[in-house]
Amino acid sequence: MVCSILFLLIKPELVFSQGYPHIVNYRVYFANVSYQGRPYIGIRTFRNQNLDYILTVDPNTLETSVIKSADCNSTEVSHIQNIAHFSGSTYAKSFQHVRDHEYALQDAGIDYAFPKERGINLTIDLCPSHKPLDKVVFESLFSAFRGIESSLPIAISLSGKWILNHEADLQWLINLKNKGLLTITWINHTYNHRVNKDPLDHNFLLAAGTHVNAEILDNEMLMLKKGIVPSVFFRFPGLVSSHEIMEEVLGFGLIPIGSDAWLAKGQHAQDGSIVLIHANGNEEVGVQDFIQLLNSEQKNIRNKRWILHDLHEGVEY
């Protein structure tokens, strides 16, 4: 049972993020960027209320940030490979790792990480759903790590259709991040997250009539409008891809993230696993399996021998 103190902990006062509600001219923009003496890689540019911005990636930490164009020096290039600080970086090595595993129909991309300690990389997918957010996932995390970690690192894969139908749930998550209770990596999970009854090679992003450009960029714009800075990571709906579409996603400067431990499918988490659960109300088995995993590791959690890893740190080669 979650105590009243925990209930208060996860019901913080409303703290709104700065958004970019009037985005126009949003496009792919690869550029050498210098900001406050540090090199960054530009991947998008846009205008909001007569100001120009660049969405940037730190080539070694993979952290993304939005920088005003007027506050930095930037030079556009034709391809990300032509950016001076790309070669040899964690960013470039991640691309190569993805290309080494891009021919699988399902679960291609980075499907495990390399932490220095025991524990997992937790990824929570929010596919389109009319059901409310499974807050028990987060309540269980806070309960398990209470007094151990002040800010828990997790990754949340957002689909545009989920965002549009869950304004209050999204704000609840943003508030937890703004209060410092969660360190959230926001993953692009496409705008529509299309799914049909066809075989996998004609389903999800591989379905006929899918426009990958819109699925990626429209979702990023929606996230930015809500005050969310998209990460450099991407998760394929259903974890389904092909060599061709994998290259297309890499062409947007994004790093596909798979999973070696989709709990609802009976896959077991190992040290360094990228664990996948859905908290959109449609995967009760996965949620219960995750809670059971937390319970089974409770002693190790208390002894700080089983932790949550930040996805950015996990892919530093």
Q: What are phi and psi of 152, to 5 degrees?
A: -90, 125
Exposure of 209 by Cβ count < 10 A (0-12 exposed, 13-18 middle, 19+ buried)? exposed
- Asked if 222 and 191 count as a contact pair (C-beta separation under 8 A), the reply is yes
User: pLDDT tens digits for the chain (317 residues)?
Assistant: 343 334 334 443 333 457 999 999 999 999 999 999 999 999 999 999 999 999 999 999 999 999 999 999 999 999 999 999 999 999 999 999 899 877 776 766 787 666 667 999 999 999 999 999 999 999 999 999 999 998 999 999 999 999 999 999 999 999 999 999 999 999 999 999 998 887 888 888 999 989 999 999 999 999 999 999 999 999 999 999 999 999 999 999 999 999 999 999 999 999 999 999 999 999 999 999 999 999 999 999 999 999 999 999 867 65
Rounded to 5°, angle at Cα 201 from 240 and 221: 45
Options 3.20.20.370, 3.40.50.10900, 3.60.21.10, 3.90.1300.10; CATH for 94-314 is 3.20.20.370
pLDDT of residue 102: 74
CA atoms within 13 A on the CB side of 153: 13
Residue pair 175/10 in contact by the 8 Å Cβ criterion: no
The domain spans of the chain are: 23-89, 94-314
The H or E element spanning position 243 is: helix 243-250
Please give the pLDDT value at position 114: 61
Residue 298 is predicted with a pLDDT of 98
- Residue 45 makes CB contacts below 8 A (sequence gap 6+) with 25, 26, 27, 29, 31, 52, 53, 54, 55, 69
* 243-267 residues labelled b (16+ CB within 10 A) or e (exposed): eebbebbbebbbbbbbbbbbbbeeb
Rg of the chain, C-alpha, whole Å: 19
- 153: Cα separation from own chain's centroid: 11
- Asked whether 182 and 173 are in contact (CB, 8 A), the reply is yes
pLDDT given for residue 197 in this prediction: 85
- DSSP class per residue in 154-223: EEEEE-HHHHHH-HHHHHHHHHHHHTTSEEEEEEE--SS----SS-GGGSGGGSTT--HHHHHHHHHHHH
Spell out the alpha helix ranges (H) of 63-159: 90-99, 136-145
Angle at alpha carbon of residue 114, lines to 110 and 117, rounded to 5°: 145
- Residue 267: its pLDDT value, please? 96
